[in-house]
Amino acid sequence: MTVHPSSAAPAGRGSAPLLAGLFVATAVLVAYGFWSLGGLPELASRHGVSIDATITYLFVTTGILFLLGHGVLTLFVLRYAGSAERAAPERGSPHASSKLEWRWALVPVLVMCVIAEGGVLIVGMPAFAQLYGEAPPDSFVVEVVGKQFEWLVHYPGPDGVFGRSEAKLVNDARNPIGLDKKDPAAKDDIYTRGQMHLPVGRGALIRLRALDVLHSFTVPQFRVKQDLIPGFLGRTQFEPTRTGQYELACAELCGLGHYRMRGFITVESQEEVDQWLSEQEPAF
C-alpha cells in the first residue's frame, strides 16, 4: 500500500499563535481568578487556620504546576508548529531516548510525592486531628437533630444530661425530637428550631443525629462539614473564635427543601449564652 500525500493534514502555522494565546489566556485568567475571586468566607474557628493553611499551600503548589504546565504547552505549540520550510521533523527513534522518558516520568512522581503527599501529611494532618481527635474536656455540648428540613437544636438543660429520646415519641408540633417525658433528665432539656448559641473561645462538641434521611452540618466560616446519618450518633467539634451570627446549612441532598434548611448559630460570651438558655422554655 502506498502512502498517499495528505489531502487534509496541512494546516497553517497561523493556528499556533491563536492556540498559544488561548492557553496563555487560560493560565492567566484561571490563576488570576483563584487569586482574586475565590475568597473564602472569613474564618471563625480555631482548627480552620490549618485548613486554610492547607488550602493556601495547595494554591501555591498547584498554581506553580498549573502555570508551568501551561507555559510548556504554549512554548511547544509555538516552537513545534509545522511549517512548509521545515521539511521534516527532527528525527530520532523515541526508543533511543527511552532513558530520557523514564527520567521525565520520575519528575512528576517525585514532585507529586513531595507536594501532594507531603501536603496531605504535614500540612493537613493537624486540622484533621483537631476535627476528629478527643474533644477538650470542658467542651460545650449541644445536640443537633436533622430532619426534613429543619435543624433542631437540643441542649441538655441545667442538669447537663441529655434526656432519652425515642423515634416513636416524635411529634412534629409537640415533641419534634421525641424526648421521653418519663425520663427525669429530659424535663429540663431545651430544644429550639434552628437556634444555636455557642460560647466564644470554648470548644463546642456537637452531637449529630438524623431522624429521616442524610443531612450534613455545614458552617463555611467554621470550616466544618459532617454528615448526619439516621441510626447513628455522630459528632463534630470546633472552637468558634469570633462572635457574631452564622448560618447553618445542609450540604447533603435531603429532599425538596434541602436549599431551605437553615439554622442560626450565635457565637457570644459564655454569660450571654447562659442568659439566653435561661430564657428558653424547658421541654416539659
Partner 1 sequence: MVERAGTGVLTAERAGPTARVEEHHAPRSFLGRYVFSTDHKVIGLQYLLTAMLMALVGGALAVMIRYQLAWPEKTVVTPETYLALVTMHGTIMVFFVVSLALVSGFGNFLIPLHIGARDMAYPFLNMLSFWTVVPGCLLMLAAFFVEGGAAAAGWTAYPPLSALKEAVPGSGLGQTLWLLAMALFIASFTMGGLNYITTILNCRAKGMTLMRMPLTVWMFFVSAVLGVLAFPPLTAAALMLLGDRHLGTSFFLPGGLVFGEEVLAHEGGTPLLFQHLFWFLGHPEVYVIVLPAIGIAFDVIATHARRPPFGYRISVYATLLIAFLSMIVWGHHMYVSGMNPLVGEYFSIATVSITAPFSVLGINLIGSLWRGQIRFTTPMYFALGIISVIGTGGLGGLYLGTSTTDVYFHDSYFVVGHFHLMIGVVTLMGTFAGCYQWFPKMFGRLMNERLGKLHFWLTFVPMMAVFVLMHYQGLSGMLRRYYDHSLFEFQTAGRALNKPITYFALLAVGGQLVFLVNFFWSARRGVRASENPWEGASMEWNTASPAPHGNFGPEDPVARRGPYEYAPQDSHQEYLPQWTA
Partner 2 sequence: MKLVLGTLTLCAFFGSALSPTSPTTSFGPAPASGALVTASPGEVGSVKGKALFQGEAPRRRKVDMGSDPACHALHAEDARDESVIVGEKGELANVFVWVSKGLEGKEFALPTTPAELDQKGCTYVPHVLGMRVGQKLVIKNADPVTHNVHSFAKKNKAFNQSQQGGGKSLEQVFDKEEVLMQVKCDIHGWMSTYVGVVAHPYFAVTKADGAFEIPGLAPGEYTLSAKHEVFGTQKTAITVKVDGVVETAFTFAEE
d(C-alpha 261, C-alpha 68), whole Å: 43
State the Rg of the chain over Cα: 29
212: cell is 429521616
Taking the least distance from each CB to partner 1, the nearer of 99 and 281 is 99
88 binds partner 1 (CB under 8 A): yes
**How far apart are the C-alpha atoms of 62 and 231, rounded to whole Å?**
40
Judged by beta carbon, residue 47 or residue 147, the one nearer partner 2 is 147
Least Å distance, CB 77 to partner 1, is 7
CA 135 to chain CA centroid, nearest Å? 21
102 binds, among partner 1, partner 2, none (CB under 5 to 8 A by kind): partner 1
* 114 contact choice in partner 1, partner 2, none (CB below 5 to 8 Å, kind-dependent): none
226 binds partner 1 (CB under 8 A): yes
Query: Considering only residues 183-202, where is the footprint of partner 1 by CB under 8 A?
Result: none
Binding-residue total with partner 1 (CB under 8 A): 119
Query: Does 66 help bind partner 1 (rule: CB under 8 A)?
Result: yes
Residue recorded with cell 491563536: 18
Q: Which is nearer to partner 2, 171 or 270 (CB)?
A: 171
Cβ(118)–Cβ(61) below 8 Å: no
Cis peptide before 217 (omega within 30 of 0): no
Binding mask 141-180 for partner 1 (x = CB under 8 A): ------xx-----------------xxx-xxx-----x--
Return the residue of 60, 98, 184, 269 that touches partner 1, per CB under 8 A: 98
Which helix (DSSP H) or strand (DSSP E) does residue 34 occupy? helix 15-36
24 is a site residue for partner 1 (CB under 8 A) = no
Nearest to 262 by CA among 206, 219, 198, 204: 219
Q: Where do runs of H (alpha helix) occur along 113-226?
A: 118, 125-132, 184-187
Report yes or no: 182 and 161 within 8 Å, Cβ to Cβ.
no
- 221 sits near partner 1 (criterion: CB under 8 A): yes
Q: What, of partner 2, partner 1, none, does residue 207 touch, CB below 5 to 8 Å by kind?
A: none
Please report whether residue 105 would count as binding partner 1 according to CB under 8 A. yes
Q: Which does 108 bind (CB under 5 to 8 A by kind): partner 2, partner 1, none?
A: partner 1
